[in-house]
Structures are given as structure tokens and as C-alpha cells.
Amino acid sequence: MPDVRPRTYLMDAGEEAHEQERARAKRRTLWQYGLPAGERQFNVRLTSEALGLVGVLDELVTAPNGVYHPVDYKFSQRTTESFALQIAAYALLIEATFNVVVPQGYLYLIGERRLVTVGITPDLRVQVVEAVQAVRQMVERETMPPPTRQRARCRACEWRRFCNDVN
């Protein structure tokens, strides 16, 4: 819903933090990925019709041996299951685009300046496919997802006005 998606303060702050982090990442070596060398690409657009997914990956690190490492920057102090699901979705997009296997991805917690490794497990791959199917069904049926149990999240959510119309 790109035509109706409102911006929030947190989205703007996160975008600014992402830009600053990209500038820092360009100056860094790849030692934190265990690589002596490699190539970095930023804001990599990935698409897979078969998966029904499109995304823009914050950073893609390619090792000299051809292994791809997706990196997603997070304006957060901790990791969540949804973050792991997102990096797994990026891994599946990379696999579909480059015909490779991506064994792991990374979440970079900007505030902590800490890299978290996420193994792209078979279970996580299944969860991505199931989540895409669930969203597709919601769109087709024009239904809303159930409200979050953590209502404090709603204060900074860009979709708040839609949920308030329904819930």
C-alpha cells in the first residue's frame, strides 16, 4: 500500500540512522564477518515472483568464495523473531536471484553497534513461506491481522489509523 503508507517519527529516525551506518560500514573491513576481503553492496533491491516477495536489503556482503551474506540494519537494542524472519526472507530472495545457498545472515543493531548472526534454518525458511501465504490470504480476503498483544507498539506504528478503523 505505498500510496497510503504514512511516515512516523521512528521511521524517519531509523532511516537517518541507516544512512549514517552505511557511511560507517563503507569504511570498515569485513573482519566482523570473518572475511579477509569481499565486496559490499548497499540498498540491494531483490525480487522473486516465485516467492511473491520484493525487498531492499541494507547490505549484501559477497565473500571471495562466492558466499553471500545478507545484512539488515536495525534501529533497535535487541533482536526479535520478526527480525530473524526478515533476514531469512532476504536470504531466500538472494538464493532465488543468484542461484546460491545462503547459510546465514546478519542483523546489525545500530544502537549497540553489534552484529548478530542468524542461521537460515529449514524451520525459518518454512516460516517465511507460511508468513507470505498468510499475508497473501489477508490481502485476498481483505481481512486485518489480529491486534498485537503488546499494545504499546501501536503508538509508533504507521498502520495505526487503519487498525483504529477496525478494532
Q: What's the number of domains the chain is made of? A: 1
Q: Which domain does 142 fall in, by range?
A: 9-166
In a domain, 106, yes or no: yes
What are 105's strand-pairing partners?
A: 118
Domain harbouring 132, CATH code: 3.40.1350
pLDDT of residue 48: 94
Helix axis angle, 122-141 to 81-98, nearest 10°: 100
Please list the pLDDT of the chain residue by residue as tens digits (167 residues): 456 666 666 677 778 777 888 778 887 888 888 888 899 999 999 999 999 899 999 999 999 999 999 999 998 888 989 999 999 999 999 999 999 999 999 999 988 889 999 999 999 999 999 999 998 998 898 887 777 788 787 777 777 776 765 54
Domain membership of residue 79 (yes or no) is yes
- Output the pLDDT for position 118: 97
Whether residue 3 is contained in a domain is answered as: no
In a domain, 54, yes or no: yes
**Cβ 72 vs Cβ 83: under 8 Å:** yes
Residue 28 belongs to a domain: yes
Cβ-based neighbours of 146, under 8 Å, separated by 6 or more: none
Residue 2 falls inside a structural domain: no
pLDDT score of 160: 72
- Does residue 73 lie within any of the structural domains? yes
CA distance 78 to 75: 9
Strands (E), the chain: 39-48, 53-62, 68-74, 104-109, 114-119
